[in-house]
Amino acid sequence: MNMKMFLILAFVTTISACASREAQKPVASNGTRVVKSMDGSYEGIIVGTANPDSKFSKLKIGMKKPDVQVLIGMPNDTYSYQSGKSWIPFYFGNDARRINAYYEGEGCLIYTAGGAFGIPGGQLIGIYVDKTRNCFK
């Protein structure tokens, strides 16, 4: 197989694998919910149920990171990591990297952290209610 055929096959395989993953919905078990963002343009995930008086009960998928920090304060710890979308050829979205922010006694928040070519991120896409810190791995 020559290099051109290999690259075409790799591209098609990557695109089809990503498309099939995007089409699947997470199973709504153990308190996991898939919800639309505030503007309805994408879906996020909420794992667990926050107490009505907790900081996380004030949050909605789609909020901007600075707005979240004004509302509930700064996280105790954060780290950034590469998402699987960073490997999609010609991906121009804002989710090539993600930020995991840990709030002690509450859980973790997951934000988009931008994409290639300086595309900004900062949208809340995941809320994990977990007082054990297991969400911060």
- For each of the chain's 137 residues, which pLDDT tens digit applies? 555 554 454 544 554 444 434 433 444 556 799 999 999 988 999 999 999 999 999 999 999 999 999 999 999 999 988 777 777 787 777 777 888 999 999 999 999 887 666 566 789 999 999 988 888 87
- Assigned token pair, 97: 């990297």
d(CA 50, CA 60): 12
The verdict on residue 10 lying in a domain is: no
Q: How far is CA 100 from CA 20, 74, 80, 81, in A?
A: 25, 12, 6, 8
The verdict on residue 9 lying in a domain is: no
The verdict on residue 86 lying in a domain is: yes
The verdict on residue 19 lying in a domain is: no
| pLDDT, position 3 | 53
The verdict on residue 21 lying in a domain is: no
Total structural domains within the chain = 1
The verdict on residue 117 lying in a domain is: yes
Q: What is the DSSP string of 24-72?
A: PPPP--TTEEEEE-TTSSSEEEEES---TTSSGGG--TT-BHHHHHHHH
The verdict on residue 112 lying in a domain is: yes
Can you give the residue range of the structural domain that contains 63?
A: 26-129
Q: Provide the CB-side half-sphere exposure for 105 (13 A, CA).
A: 5
